Structure 1
Amino acid sequence: MADLFDTGAVTQVTPGGHRPLADRLRPKSLAEVIGQQKVLGPEAPLTMMLASGALSSLVFWGPPGVGKTTIARLLADETELHFVQISAIFSGVPELRKVFEAAKIRRQNGQGTLLFVDEIHRFNKAQQDGFLPHMEDGTILLVGATTENPSFELNAAVLSRAQVLVLERLSVAELELLAQRAEQELDRTLPLDGPAREALLEMADGDGRALFNLIEQVAAWKVDGKLGKAALGARLMRRAAQYDKGGDAHYNMISALHKSVRGSDPDAALYWFARMLEGGEDPRYLARRITRMAVEDIGLADPQAQAICLQSWETYERLGSPEGELALAQALAYLALAPKSNAAYVAYKGARRAAKETGSEPPPKHILNAPTALMKEQGYGAGYAYDHDAEDGFSGQNYFPDGMKRPVLYAPVERGYERELKKRLDYFAKLREKRGDQD
């Protein structure tokens, strides 16, 4: 179901005029909406709200063309509220005041107002606060739409008074239902063979409005027979994938990339790497994050991993794009297949916590240097055991502040090179215990 399809539709120019296909196929009721079953299904939140007669303010969060505007309009129809639509891109404080004043008058006359705010995240925090008193006294029922994560973009006060509903990109099956609905409206079948039809649906990339725009273009062609996938590709440009380098897509994909590496899946890692590059991500940002993965998730299980990342980064800087990205891809594949350990990362975080808890406790005096007589008199360096002179080159002395219980911070895993480090750690632990028994 398209996002009621206020902009972006391709219109055929005819003497009598022509309504865009998206507008002609606007659903007349919530039952006609295709997709969004998690919001509109039999046991879904909106269905329950309408059944109980207790519709609350809402925030629709989802990508473009999935039905945010459509559902808001239909909610107003279902609840007999006056529908008002504004866009945060084109509206400011004066426009909001007019909307609120009109809603107050409408309320005095016995009718409520459903205020639909498109791109609500574009309003600043002060503007968002302006909605609160009108939401609380029932002047408006707010329905906001945003493509950005509401947790980051909307005031906590607004979120506390509204329920966030997540709308998802349309599946290929749901897009096919839209295409069939469009063919019924046009009273003709699209001139495409099976593979070409699938390619058309993929071009829409989960956006119902984009699909209707593409269908109008294809339906206008004068062709004999059916076009194949190659012919369709030559006539239509593939829609650019949705990717905002500063928004949710950016953080979602880098999370997917990082977790694919951590999960030892080189194919998935390379896929998300390619998705980010196709979206225009800066390869230098990816090089930095890839190096972080080596430090955080592989660590000393494979000490070579970090060096490989730095070498691939340097190779990219020398080669530039597009050749340099291959070096980063090779580093990614290596990381995905490397043994994994976050033992050093966990130890580092534990050390930071311990440092905060112990405040300004000084080191034990026996490991302090004593360059002056006064410092020697104060016991600096007294009793220090020079490890090279000790049996096995290990004195077993305490290096933590006096009175501090010795913590266990670094616990190497039984994977990769950390197997060897664990053997060493266990060896020194036994020697420390032995030295302690002798004291």
Structure 2
Amino acid sequence: MSDLFDREPAPPQPDAPRPLADRLRPKSLAEVIGQGKVLSPDGPLGAMLVSGSLSSLILWGPPGVGKTTIARLLAKETDLAFVQISAIFTGVPDLRKVFEAAKLRRANGQGTLLFVDEIHRFNKAQQDGFLPHMEDGTILLVGATTENPSFELNAALMSRAQVIVLDRLSLADLERLAQRAEHETGRALPLDGPAREALLEMADGDGRALLNLVEQVMAWKVKGPLDRDQLATRLMRRAAKYDKSGEEHYNLISALHKSVRGSDPDAALYWFARMLEGGEDPRFLARRITRMAVEDIGLADPQAQGICLEAWATYERLGSPEGELALAEALVYLALSPKSNAVYTAYKAARAAAKQTGSEPPPKHILNAPTKMMKEIGYGSGYQYDHDAEDGFSGQNYFPESMKRPVWYLPQERGFERELKKRTDYFSKLRAKRQGG
């Protein structure tokens, strides 16, 4: 079921009109739509209830998927007093009062389920304030957040609570919710099939948003079913959820990058468009596209990096929206380029070795000797000038003398790196021959 009610209203008068979302409030966990994987007997919450052992929880999911509803029903199922606060409106004095009231309940034999909405908005000290009351059993904490808990919550709090991931509602879930609304009102939505589907899409996985839209549509006085275009003229489409600094930002950029790595230009263009539609800065995308060229294409196609930089420069000259096409072209080029992370892998290995070997000096034969004393102690002694050597290659050792020669760069049999592999193999054989001789 969607998270239909973030804040429980005051009890209505018997004849007072009630919002549709309030009228459809689930009476039990069995009525909750869309979260079967966590509420089923084999799911994490279902298993806790079956065993009679409910622990503190962090409910993580997008808006309108059931966080508040589930918390309220968990309190009902376990006979705990339900107390709800919001991190936005609650300060330290308010928290003290909540904890004192919970202690009194506990002394009288009743536990407290404290539901904290937007828990990620509490600072570190405020989050730490919950810990002693969780540990001594004064409260059972259920926090709700739309942000990734691993980014926003303290490790100490995370170690004492189980994170439950709630999914956005599917179109099938939203259709079930719409049917419940029609049953409750005794009326069918005045929409034809495509318009009904469009209404569900407008909710963007948010059950509360869908019920608000349904209530609005139900209030229209229309003679016949509306089509998609007529619906669009009466409703403003709900903006897709996208936070340029939050979890959704990282999800979409990950999807974009992995679509390129997976050589799927259509998927890459889709996620690129999703980010632009969400208001992402094209310059951020230009930077990330260039990073893809050096990280995932590398020397399999040495032109890729230059194409990305040219696309970036073109965007700077043209601006939006025309310049975005240059970025899209670079994106498609990367998706269809041969892939290699050989240099990326070799670079990371070299960095790790540099940290491990510390201050090992270069071998003396490749050190400069600008003074007489340096020459006398062996600086530059035995250096072979490669241009004077056979094939322009001396085969000398350039690593610290105490270090066994590693092999980090392993070019792939793809794209231009096929040619580079021939070269590395050639020099490897020649080095073995020269050093052996």
Matches of 2:295 and 2:65, distance apart in 1: 37
Confirm or deny that 1:306 pairs with 2:305: yes
> Bigger CA drift: 353-362 or 285-294?
353-362
Partner of 1:232: 231
Matches of 1:82 and 1:219, distance apart in 2: 36
SS state at 2:115 partner:
strand
What letter corresponds to residue 416 of structure 2 in structure 1? Y
Partner of 1:5: 5
Cα RMSD of the aligned pairs, angstroms, is 1.2
Counting only pairs closer than 5 Å after superposition, residues 285-364 of structure 1 correspond to structure 2 as: 285-364=284-363
Counting only pairs closer than 5 Å after superposition, residues 48-127 of structure 1 correspond to structure 2 as: 48-127=47-126
Counting only pairs closer than 5 Å after superposition, residues 32-431 of structure 1 correspond to structure 2 as: 32-431=31-430
Partner of 1:13: none
Matches of 1:28 and 1:130, distance apart in 2: 32
Shift of 1:357: 1.4
What letter corresponds to residue 50 of structure 1 in structure 2? L
SS state at 2:83 partner:
strand
Matches of 2:352 and 2:41, distance apart in 1: 49
Matches of 2:108 and 2:7, distance apart in 1: 33
Shift of 1:7: 6.0
Shift of 1:17: 4.0
Matches of 1:81 and 1:208, distance apart in 2: 26
Matches of 2:76 and 2:355, distance apart in 1: 58
Counterparts in 2 of 1:350 and 1:434: CA distance versus 1, 3 Å: same
Matches of 1:59 and 1:5, distance apart in 2: 18
Matches of 1:300 and 1:431, distance apart in 2: 23
Partner of 2:23: 24
Give a deviation string over 1:160-195, Cα, whole Å, max 9, x none.
111110000000001000000000111100000000
Runs of 4+ aligned residues of structure 1 deviating over 2 Å after TM superposition are: 6-9
Give a deviation string over 1:36-56, Cα, whole Å, max 9, x none.
011111311111111111111
Counterparts in 2 of 1:50 and 1:152: CA distance versus 1, 3 Å: same
Shift of 1:368: 1.2
Shift of 1:148: 0.6
Aligned partners of 2:56 and 2:160 also within 8 Å = yes
SS state at 1:77 partner:
helix
Normalising by structure 2, we get a TM-score of 0.97
Shift of 1:391: 0.7
Shift of 1:2: 2.3
Give a deviation string over 1:384-419, Cα, whole Å, max 9, x none.
111111111111011111121001011100000000
Give a deviation string over 1:9-51, Cα, whole Å, max 9, x none.
9xxxxxx642110000000011111110111113111111111
Matches of 1:110 and 1:361, distance apart in 2: 68
SS state at 1:145 partner:
strand
Partner of 2:12: none
SS state at 1:339 partner:
coil
What letter corresponds to residue 236 of structure 2 in structure 1? M
What letter corresponds to residue 5 of structure 2 in structure 1? F
Give a deviation string over 1:262-290, Cα, whole Å, max 9, x none.
11111111111111111111111111011
SS state at 1:86 partner:
strand
What letter corresponds to residue 5 of structure 1 in structure 2? F
SS state at 1:315 partner:
helix
Matches of 1:152 and 1:344, distance apart in 2: 31
The total of aligned residue pairs comes to 432
5+ residue gaps, structure 2, are 10-14
Percentage of identical aligned residues: 81
Aligned partners of 1:316 and 1:324 also within 8 Å = yes
Counterparts in 2 of 1:94 and 1:8: CA distance versus 1, 3 Å: closer
Matches of 1:5 and 1:159, distance apart in 2: 25
Shift of 1:437: 2.5
Matches of 2:133 and 2:274, distance apart in 1: 43
SS state at 1:375 partner:
helix
What letter corresponds to residue 125 of structure 1 in structure 2? K
Matches of 1:201 and 1:42, distance apart in 2: 29
Give a deviation string over 1:77-114, Cα, whole Å, max 9, x none.
11111110000000010100000001111111111111
Shift of 1:6: 3.8
SS state at 2:163 partner:
strand
Shift of 1:254: 0.7
5+ residue gaps, structure 1, are 10-15
Aligned partners of 1:8 and 1:213 also within 8 Å = no
Matches of 2:264 and 2:321, distance apart in 1: 24
Matches of 1:406 and 1:19, distance apart in 2: 77
Shift of 1:436: 1.9
Counterparts in 2 of 1:8 and 1:268: CA distance versus 1, 3 Å: farther
What letter corresponds to residue 4 of structure 2 in structure 1? L
